[in-house]
């Protein structure tokens, strides 16, 4: 029994350190790496971060299914994500209509396909990796969702609008992923809502979706 407690504590410490490493990478990406506009620096650090998470998944004995790369639960995942995404789209659309800022056209559709890969990158780290590590630290589903939502939202500083939006969406995505892990569905939800916020609301509100030092430009 004592050995099991020590083992759980060790896994908790390791998980906390792993979260810290990836969060530090995300912070540096937003505030230093991306603003430097060096594509090789961006690619190189991204590859290192992905390798780190894959090694971590292997160390913890996690499968493709547990990290959300699966299709067996796709119908349940779509059911919850579709409801949330549609409600958000109605709110964004109504708000944009009242402000006269709706701009959904062919360009927006192309932007959706482009953003899908960036959304997948974020979901891989903040949804899949962080959720699994937080489960080693916290007991309840809502606790994991709350902490992950805070981590996800704070990385969007100093854009207060995005901090709020990503906290709400981050909480929902994590809460659903905890029970029905599926990266493909959550990525589509992420991409659709991000493009809707960009195209549906004026820059005075979304600030061009800019974060980090770029926010001030």
- Asked whether the whole model's pTM tops 0.85, one would answer yes
String of DSSP letters for 83-143? HHHHHHHHHHHHHHHHHT----SHHHHHHHHHHHHHHHHHIIIIIIIHHHHHTTT-SSHHH
Return the closest-CA partner of residue 45 out of 27, 30, 31, 25.
25
Tell me the per-residue pLDDT of 60-86, one tens digit each, with 9 for 90 and over: 999 999 999 999 999 999 999 999 999
Q: Distance between CA atoms of 111 and 195, rounded to whole angstroms?
A: 7
Higher per-residue pLDDT: 112 or 197: 197
Domain boundaries, the chain: 2-216
Tell me the per-residue pLDDT of 120-164, one tens digit each, with 9 for 90 and over: 999 999 999 999 999 999 999 999 999 999 999 999 999 999 999
160-179 vs 74-99: helix axis angle to the nearest 10? 160
Q: Distance between CA atoms of 142 and 172, rounded to whole angstroms?
A: 10
Contacts of 130 (CB under 8 A, 6+ apart): 19, 22, 148, 151, 152, 174
Tell me the per-residue pLDDT of 158-201, one tens digit each, with 9 for 90 and over: 999 999 999 999 999 999 999 999 999 999 999 999 999 998 99
């Amino acid at each position: 029994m004592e050995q099991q407690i020590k083992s759980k504590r060790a896994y908790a410490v390791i998980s906390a350190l792993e979260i810290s490493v990836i969060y530090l990478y995300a912070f540096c990406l937003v505030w230093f790496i991306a603003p430097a506009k060096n594509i090789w620096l961006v690619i190189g650090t991204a590859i290192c971060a992905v390798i780190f998470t894959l090694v971590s998944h292997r160390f913890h004995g996690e499968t493709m299914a547990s990290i959300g790369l699966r299709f067996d639960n796709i119908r349940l995942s779509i059911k919850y994500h579709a409801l949330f995404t549609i409600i958000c789209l109605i709110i964004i659309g109504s708000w944009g209509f009242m402000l006269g800022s709706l701009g959904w056209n062919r360009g927006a559709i192309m932007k959706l396909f482009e953003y899908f890969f960036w959304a997948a990158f974020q979901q891989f780290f903040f949804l899949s990796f962080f959720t699994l590590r937080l489960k080693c630290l916290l007991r309840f589903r809502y606790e994991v969702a709350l902490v992950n939502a805070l981590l996800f939202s704070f990385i969007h500083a100093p854009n207060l609008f995005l901090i709020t939006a990503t906290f709400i969406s981050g909480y929902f995505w994590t809460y659903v992923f905890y029970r029905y892990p599926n990266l493909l569905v959550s990525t589509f939800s992420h991409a659709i809502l991000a493009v809707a916020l960009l195209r549906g609301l004026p820059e005075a509100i979304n600030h061009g979706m800019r974060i980090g030092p770029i926010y001030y430009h």
